Amino acid sequence: MFLFVSIIGVAINTGVVVAITTFVDPMFGVEARPWLFGAKVIATGVSLVWNFTGYKLFVFKK
């Protein structure tokens, strides 16, 4: 189950980065490279929530 939750976390991380950089245009005059960095930060936060919840509910349940 650990591997399943981890693989889903990687897919979520990648999907969020692709979605933000593809479908959301850079705002506030931000160049493409900092926009990518921001997308990675957001994706890391989203996947962190998924991983925490997945590990708590499925992997380390008591």
pLDDT of residue 28: 87
pLDDT of residue 61: 84
Q: What angle do CA 26, 28, 33 make, to 5 degrees?
A: 45
pLDDT of residue 35: 95
CB 17 within 8 A of CB 40: yes
- Please, where are the H alpha helices in the chain? 2-23, 32-54
pLDDT in tens, 6-61: 999 999 999 999 999 999 989 889 999 999 999 999 999 999 999 999 999 999 98
Tokens of 45: 């936060």
Q: What is the spatial distance between Cα 33 and Cα 2, in angstroms, rounded to a whole number?
A: 33
pLDDT of residue 13: 98
Who contacts 18 (Cβ-Cβ below 8 Å, separation ≥6)? none
